[in-house]
Amino acid sequence: MKRASILALTASLLCANAFAAKDSISIVGSSTVFPFSKVVAERYGKSTQFKTPTVESTGTGGGFKEFCKGTDIATPDITNASRRIKQSEFDQCKANGVTDIVEVLIGYDGIVLANSLEAKQVKLSRKQIFLALAEKVPATDGSEKLIDNPYQKWSDIDKSLPDVKIRVLGPPPSSGTRDAFVELAMEGGCSAFPWIKAMKKSDKDRFKEVCHIMREDGAFQEAGENDNLIVQKLAADPNALGIFGFSFLDQNSDKVQPSLIDGEEPTFETIADGSYPVSRPLYFYVKKAHVGVVPGIAEYLAEFTHERAWGDEGYLTDKGMIPLSEEKRETIGARVKNLEILTKL
């Protein structure tokens, strides 16, 4: 008797649940955009009558996967991304009926190489980063051959670099930070060799193989998705370098210092104007079919694209996001207001 009533209760709950209207926005996607997204969500929830959106950190790829599942009300309304949507993801979305997507570029994030304050600040070029971290590097005699990475110490690469063992801690391949680092720093570095750069046109797969594969002999160590952990390990080992997002550098300036890359120190200014080479754009994508169905999406977009949020002195910059230029904010803000959809990449 008791059991039967419990089963009935569960069944009724299930049915009620499946057809219940969604009353709050659900957001998925990049772990890099996550902190920015949740500040906006929270302020929006406190200052409007709408419920605070649910923000999940699934990673950029995982976010698109959920987002593109369809236009059903149970699917996410917004997905965050630390890179632009890929053609394959766009096609996947279209195939599932998610045809109207609004793209919003919100700002930039810098990826930094940093070491403990106890050690000297390091100055590197992207070429040196590539030589230190790639699995295969061009032969030392200058011929166009690839050999297993022979460099054990930084000073082996260049005399000006410190005479310590190469030890770099970084995120695993599932992380967006790693993707961006590989694309911006490593690819930038290997393009410094003209014959590898030429490969990009002739044999793209081979080019990626050469530039993207990190060495696995211990000089580069995967330290997990948790950037705080990398900071802690750096503080304990002055000889190690770490790779993480700019916001973590901002919050831990008492423990770690950034390395100069191509002569540029990562700061708000150098990332915003593009002179710091390892920075990436941050986006979010909105399912237009849900605007007006799920309450408050338009208001959330308005909050996000308000000057007090993404402006030069907005609260997102306090959280470490690098703002867009004023003209860009204006054009994108207008596009968002009109909910202009993304037609092609």
Partner 1 sequence: MNKISTTEQVQRSLKKRYRAEKRFRMYGVTSIVIGLLALLLLFTEIISKGVGAFKQHYVSLEINFDADDLGLDADLFTFFDAVREDYGNKLHSELKIADQHATMAEALSEFEAQAQRDFGMTVIDALQAREQQLADANFTGIIRNSLRERFPSVKSRRDRRALYSLVSVGASFDLRDRVNADASLIGTTQKLWLLADDDLDTYVKSLNDSEPFIGRLKENQVEFISSWLEKNEIDARFNTIFFTSGDSSEPEQAGILGAVMGTFFTLLVTLILSFPVGVAAAIYLEEYATKNKFTDFIEVNINNLAAVPSVIFGLLGLAIFLNFFGMTRSVPLVGGMVLTLMTLPTIIISSRAAITSVPPSIREAALGMGASRMQTILHHVLPLAMPGMLTGAIIGMARALGETAPLLMIGMVAFIAEVPSSWNDAATVLPVQIYLWADSPERAFVERTSAAIMVLLAFLIMMNGLAIYLRKRLERRW
Token pair 């402006």 in the structure block, residue: 311
Query: Are the C-beta atoms of 283 and 84 separated by less than 8 Å?
Result: yes
Site string for partner 1, 76-115 (x = CB under 8 A): x---------------------------------------
Residue with smaller CB distance to partner 1, 14 or 95: 14
Most distant CA atoms of the chain, gap in Å: 84
Q: Does 71 bind partner 1 (CB under 8 A)?
A: no
Binding of residue 236 to partner 1 (CB under 8 A): no
How far are the Cα atoms of 58, 70, 90, 92, 147 from residue 95, in angstroms, in the given order?
22, 9, 9, 5, 44
What are the structure tokens assigned to 281, written together?
A: 């754009």
CB of 248 to partner 1, least distance (A): 5
Cα torsion angle, 43, 46, 48, 54, sign: positive
Q: Does 222 bind partner 1 (CB under 8 A)?
A: no
Give phi and psi for 49, each to the nearest 5. -85, -5
Per CB under 8 A, the segment of 136-144, 166-174, 224-232, 323-331 that binds partner 1 is: 224-232
Region from 50-58, 119-127, 200-208, 259-267 binding partner 1, contact rule CB under 8 A: 50-58
Phi, psi of 77 (to 5 degrees): -90, -30
Least spacing, CB of residue 134 vs partner 1, in Å: 29
| DSSP run (H or E) holding 307 | helix 307-310
CB of 227 to partner 1, least distance (A): 7
Asked whether position 175 contacts partner 1 by CB under 8 A, the answer is: no
Confirm or reject binding of residue 47 to partner 1 (CB under 8 A): yes
Q: In which residue are the tokens 């909910």 written?
A: 339
Considering only residues 8, 11, 14, 345, which one is a binding residue for partner 1 as defined by CB under 8 A?
A: 14
Q: By CB under 8 A, name the one of 8, 11, 12, 74 that touches partner 1.
A: 74
- State the Cα torsion 38-42-43-49 to the nearest 10°: 140
Question: CA-to-CA distance for 199 and 217, rounded, in angstroms?
Answer: 26
Nearest-angstrom CA–CA distance, 256 and 265: 13
209 binds partner 1 (CB under 8 A): no
Among 226, 273, 292, 325, binds partner 1 (CB under 8 A): 226
13 binds partner 1, rule: CB under 8 A: yes
Cβ burial of 10 (10 Å; 0-12, 13-18, 19+) is exposed
- Residues of span 258-317 touching partner 1 by CB under 8 A: 313, 315
Binding segment for partner 1 among 85-93, 162-170, 240-248, 266-274 (CB under 8 A)? 240-248
Residues in the site for partner 1, rule: CB under 8 A? 2-3, 6, 10, 13-14, 16-18, 20, 22, 24, 26, 28, 34-35, 37-39, 41-43, 45-49, 51-52, 54-57, 72, 74, 76, 225-228, 245, 247-248, 250-254, 313, 315, 318-320
